[in-house]
Amino acid sequence: MSNGARRGGKTTREAIFAAALALAAERGITATTMDDIAARAGVAKGSLYYNFSSKDQLFDALLELELSELSARLASAREGLRGRAAIRALVEAVLQAMQEEPDLARVLVTEIFRDDRSWVRTVAVAREGFLSAFQVSCEEAAADVGHPLRNAAIVSAGVFGSALLIGLEWLLRGAQTPRGELVEQVAGDLAAVLG
């Protein structure tokens, strides 16, 4: 079955990506094998290897796709906003993405700061984009209150990392607080710190 063939409404490639992401979230990427992915996706190993020559190539392609979609989501969230409003929108976009794709959230939390993987460049480029969106917004928010940041890169990394960890904790606790309320709490606390 080729890359474009459909299986239960998904292409073979989409089924492979979904299986790989679910397994990586359950077990970690290291413990996930190509055999496991083929079985979960319901495809023959030959079909899996037709699409991806190795597990590293598969996860590089998967992360590149998922991270580019998250980058687009963040860019869209920030569009037309600045400062605190932009930070609020970015935090909400991160939390919404985590709520909609909890498997991706689990994998990202373990992979985004690793530097020993073959897909390190893919993740680093995406991370730089995420941090850039947060950095511009943090610099604007600080300037709006007359308090320029001495190290905007560190502050933006802290805000982005906090959004990831808050989102993960929120998911682990069953997302009991409505997302909008959580965003307001986080944004309010951040505003107090920046103010």
For position 159, which CATH number holds?
Answer: 1.10.357.10
- 114 lies in the same domain as 63: yes
- 86 lies in the same domain as 129: yes
pLDDT at 120: 81
pLDDT at 3: 47
pLDDT at 56: 93
In the chain, the number of structural domains is: 2
Instruction: Using alpha carbons, list the distances in angstroms from residue 64 to 59, 61, 164.
Output: 8, 5, 18
Cα 181 from Cα 178, distance rounded (Å):
5
- 15 lies in the same domain as 84: no
- 147 lies in the same domain as 187: yes
Question: Does 1 reside within a domain?
Answer: no
Please name the residues in contact with 93: beta carbons below 8 A apart, sequence gap of 6 or more. 73, 74, 76, 77
Question: Does 11 reside within a domain?
Answer: yes
Expressed as residue numbers, the domain containing 26 is 6-53
pLDDT at 162: 81
- 62 lies in the same domain as 44: no
pLDDT at 190: 67
- 163 lies in the same domain as 69: yes
Question: Does 160 reside within a domain?
Answer: yes
- 45 lies in the same domain as 132: no
- 71 lies in the same domain as 153: yes
- 100 lies in the same domain as 177: yes
Q: Which residue positions in the chain have pLDDT lower than 70?
A: 1-9, 189-195
Question: Does 133 reside within a domain?
Answer: yes
pLDDT at 135: 92
- 87 lies in the same domain as 160: yes
The strand ranges marked E within the chain are: 6-7, 10-11
Cα 167 from Cα 189, distance rounded (Å):
15
pLDDT at 2: 42
- 139 lies in the same domain as 163: yes
